[in-house]
Amino acid sequence: MKSKVHHVVSLALAVVLVAVISACVQGRFTVRAARLTVTERSDRVRGDEPYLGMIRFQSRFGTRGSTDVVVLDELRTLGDQVRPGSSLPIPAEVGEVRFGATAALSRQEIVADGLQPGLGGVIYVAMEEDHGGKPEVRAVLREAAEQLRTTLVQHVEEESWSDIAFALALYQVRTGLESGAGEVAGEGRCGLLDTRVCRFLKSRVGDDFIGHAAIIHVGIEDDYFRELLPSWTETAGLFGEQWPGCDDGSNPVCPVGTRAHALLLDGAGDGSYRLDLEATFEDSSGR
């Protein structure tokens, strides 16, 4: 039972980082999970009963008290006996995640004026309802949220912004949540949870874990984001990793803005889902 819940947490942690601060280009930032498509079913007999767990989080560099992590654990089942190729609309009250005052800062505002950008995000965990495992899934999401909160306070709140600081913070968030990744008892990836929690979930959660993904947004303007990409890519290479792009996939990293994404939720075992997201930034600063 836990095995599946654990997977759920990983997916939920499939993390969405969204930069949030109140600065010159301000507005309302929203990320909505609009549609879920079953690309490969987990239940070979009846078809799938998919649901999502989510963790919303945000924090700002060098700003104590700015970290906010919230578990969205309604875990509403989105469909019954869903077959491969079927696409399910996600109600707005389930899939829409809103952030507070959000800013997209320019290079001038950060480097010359000393404003501090933020991160934030939504972590998605895809599950397939099977044996009444939702209570255990909720518990796992809450534990993962506390782990994430600690990491954000240490590596974002307590650090001032620089291009290297952001790359290191993102690395710490990802490695902290993914420290249990790998095969455990031959039951698929743990992802985003430590090995101890992963083993516990695998043994206690009845629902099937499909996968996890995160979309990551940072609160800077597009031009400055592109300027920093070579530095971030080089820093990631020092850790033997590739810098995640802003394209579709599992964990894209993007500047705050309006764009669509398709996240892949798979890898935990049987089953594979695609999650279509709509990120919207409504500029209210008049700039």
Residue 123 sits at the vertex; the CA angle it makes with 117 and 128, to the nearest 5 degrees, is: 170
DSSP H stretches of helix in the chain? 2-12, 92-95, 107, 134-152, 163-177, 195-204, 222-238
DSSP class of residue 243 equals P
Nearby residues of 254 by Cβ (< 8 Å), 6 or more positions away: 215, 216, 217, 218, 225, 246, 279
Contact between 7 and 269 under an 8 Å Cβ cutoff? The reply is: yes
Judging by DSSP bridges, how do beta strands 87-89 and 26-40 pair with one another?
antiparallel
- The domain made up of 2-283 has a fold known as Immunoglobulin-like (2.60.40)
CB 6 within 8 A of CB 198: yes
Measured CA to CA, the distance from residue 229 to residue 247 in angstroms comes to 14
State how beta strands 96-103 and 26-40 pair.
antiparallel
SS3 266: coil
∠ CA 199-200-203, rounded to 5° = 85
Task: Output the CA–CA distances (angstroms, integers) from residue 144 to 141, 150, 178, 206, in the order listed.
Answer: 5, 10, 11, 19
- What pLDDT is stored for residue 255 in this prediction? 93
Measure the CA–CA gap between 22 and 144, rounded to whole angstroms.
Answer: 27
For the chain, which ranges sit under pLDDT 50? 1-2, 4-23, 179-189, 192-197, 200-202
Mean pLDDT score of the chain: 79
